[in-house]
């Protein structure tokens, strides 16, 4: 037996052990799920997942990289959750868009994903109990806030259960994988704008046509060998396309933040964010009064966004994200102090802050 065959035999034995351990773990998960149902406890516990990721990442001595370890653990968590109880996740569709990609990054491949046509429908699916979670975009590092998502929180009582930070990477793809075959390019208006410089340098004179989504662009490219699409790597996998060129966006520092919405907020993890929505009285010094409680409590604000109230001219609602959990004493104190100066205030949720493993 050659040395390679000997080593492969050892690998086979290790793979058998991994399979056995995964099934032993799954039996324990099923038992935990049974107990949770009896106690009517929350099935999905993100802080437990974070504890496992943090512990094993710190313990890992390599050479297996932590980034790959986290990806493996995410699929283990996903499959385990489906064993406890199959879950549905609504998202802004169609399939293979960046929102779909964000869902898979956070929840893995095991849940049942339900694409819907609008952000409003995502909220509706969760509010009606037709899906346990919803995933919606809330801001992009280049384009700014997704106003419609913020507006939905004014009307909805759903909570933010998690955030997802997804690096946006635009790819040129077609059936053949050859640039010479590209006679026209399809994509959504936003990716086209983000890739304008690359297109002018590399496909000058090739017509670029706007379509309803990157998924539709990929679908059209799959039907026409003379067409290419600008879309996600997931779209290439879904529609059987070959990537001609990766990362053709003009600005490589492009991230989109997504929110996971639910009927409840998760427990404190020790590395959390809290999001609130409020409206203040229109008077001199209102902005100072709004920020002062957070400064006094030593709380870092990570986002402030204003939106018109739509009820009264020049009256605004403010969305604020802050470091910490609303059960933390300093956060609780700051929010209650702010409430004194507000026309209304709503806590949208406290949830684990996205770390590097989410990116």
List helix spans (H) across the chain.
3-39, 46-59, 66-84, 98-107, 119-127, 147-155, 189-194, 196-202, 214-223, 233-239, 286-296, 329-339
What average pLDDT values come out for the chain (359 residues) when binned by 10 residues?
89 96 92 85 75 91 91 87 84 90 89 93 95 93 84 92 92 96 94 93 95 93 96 93 95 90 87 92 76 92 84 77 94 92 91 64
Closest alpha carbon to 100 in 111, 284, 241: 111
Instruction: Parse the chain into domains and list their residue ranges.
Output: 3-84, 88-167+255-262, 171-245, 272-358
User: How much is the pLDDT for 357?
Assistant: 40
Nearest to 207 by CA among 199, 217, 198, 215: 199
* Correct CATH for 88-167+255-262 of 3.40.50.1000, 3.90.1640.30, 3.40.630.10, 3.40.190.10: 3.40.190.10
The pLDDT assigned to 359 comes to 39
The answer to whether the Cα torsion of 51, 52, 56, 59 is positive or negative is: positive
Q: What is the pLDDT of residue 312?
A: 67
Q: How far apart are CA 196 and CA 208, in angstroms?
A: 10
Cα–Cα distances in angstroms (integers) from residue 344 to residues 62, 99, 280, 317, 339, in the given order:
51, 31, 7, 9, 7
Q: What is the pLDDT of residue 309?
A: 72
Using CA atoms, how far apart are residues 150 and 132, in angstroms rounded to an integer? 20
The two tokens of residue 336 are 């209650």
CATH of domain 272-358: 3.30.70.260
Does the active-site annotation cover 225?
A: no
Hey, what long-range contacts does 331-338 have (CB within 8 A, 24 or more apart)? Answer: 331/274, 331/297, 331/299, 333/293, 333/297, 334/293, 334/294, 334/296, 334/297, 334/299, 335/274, 335/276, 335/293, 337/293, 337/296, 338/276, 338/278, 338/290, 338/293, 338/294
Give the pLDDT score at 355. 63
Say which of 77, 123, 153, 258 is annotated catalytic: 258
pLDDT of residue 144: 81
Alpha carbon 94 to its chain centroid, in Å, reads 15
* CATH of the domain spanning 171-245, picked from 3.30.479.30, 3.40.50.10860, 3.40.190.10, 3.40.720.10: 3.40.190.10
CA-to-CA separations, 151 to 114, 154, 260, 307, 339, in angstroms, rounded: 22, 5, 16, 8, 20
Can you tell me whether residue 279 is helix, strand or coil? Answer: strand
HSE (CB half, 13 Å, CA atoms) of 123?
17
Superfamily of chain region 3-84:
Chorismate mutase (1.20.59.10)
123 is catalytic: no
Catalytic residue, candidates 256, 274, 294, 319: 256
Q: What's the confidence (pLDDT) of residue 163? A: 94
Residue listed under structure tokens 């507000």: 342
Q: HEC profile for 149-200?
A: HHHHHHHCCCEEEEEEEEECCCEEEECCCCHHHCCEEEECHHHHHHCHHHHH
Q: What is the pLDDT of residue 33?
A: 84
Identify which of 139, 155, 158 has the alpha carbon closest to the alpha carbon of residue 147.
139
The answer to whether the beta carbons of residues 232 and 164 sit under 8 Å apart is: no
Q: 88-167+255-262 with 171-245: one CATH topology?
A: yes
| CA torsion through residues 65, 67, 72, 77, sign | positive
User: What is the model's pLDDT at position 196?
Assistant: 93
């Amino acid at each position: 037996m050659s040395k390679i065959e000997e080593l492969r035999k050892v690998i086979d034995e290790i793979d058998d052990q991994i399979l056995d351990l995964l099934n032993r773990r799954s039996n324990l998960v099923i038992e935990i799920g049974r107990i949770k149902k009896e106690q009517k406890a929350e099935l999905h516990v993100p802080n437990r997942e974070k504890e496992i990721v943090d512990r094993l990442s710190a313990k890992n001595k390599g050479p297996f990289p932590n980034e790959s370890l986290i990806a493996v653990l995410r699929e283990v968590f996903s499959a385990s959750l489906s064993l406890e109880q199959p879950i549905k996740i609504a998202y802004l569709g169609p399939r293979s868009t960046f929102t779909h990609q964000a869902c898979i990054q956070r929840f893995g491949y095991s849940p049942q994903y339900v694409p819907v046509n609008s952000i409003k429908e995502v909220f509706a699916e969760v509010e009606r109990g037709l899906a346990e979670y919803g995933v919606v975009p809330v801001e992009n590092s280049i384009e700014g806030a997704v106003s419609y998502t913020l507006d939905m929180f004014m009307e909805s009582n759903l909570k933010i259960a998690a955030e997802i930070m997804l690096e946006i990477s635009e790819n040129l793809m077609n059936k053949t994988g050859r640039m010479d075959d590209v006679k026209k390019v399809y994509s959504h208006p936003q990716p086209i704008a983000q890739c304008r410089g690359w297109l002018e340098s590399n496909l000058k004179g090739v017509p670029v046509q706007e379509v309803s989504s990157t998924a539709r662009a990929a679908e059209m490219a799959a039907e026409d060998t003379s067409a290419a699409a600008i879309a996600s790597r997931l779209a290439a996998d879904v529609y059987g396309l070959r990537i001609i060129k990766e990362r053709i966006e003009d600005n490589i520092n492009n991230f989109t933040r997504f929110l996971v919405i639910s009927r409840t907020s998760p427990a404190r993890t020790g590395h959390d964010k809290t999001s609130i929505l409020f409206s203040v009285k229109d008077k001199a010094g209102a902005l100072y009064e709004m920020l002062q409680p957070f400064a006094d409590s030593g709380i870092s604000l990570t986002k402030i966004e204003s939106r018109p109230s739509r009820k009264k001219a020049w009256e605004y609602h403010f969305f604020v994200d802050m470091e910490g959990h609303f059960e933390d004493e300093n956060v609780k104190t700051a929010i209650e102090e702010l409430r004194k100066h507000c026309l209304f205030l709503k806590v949208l949720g406290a949830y684990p802050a996205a770390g590097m493993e989410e990116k």
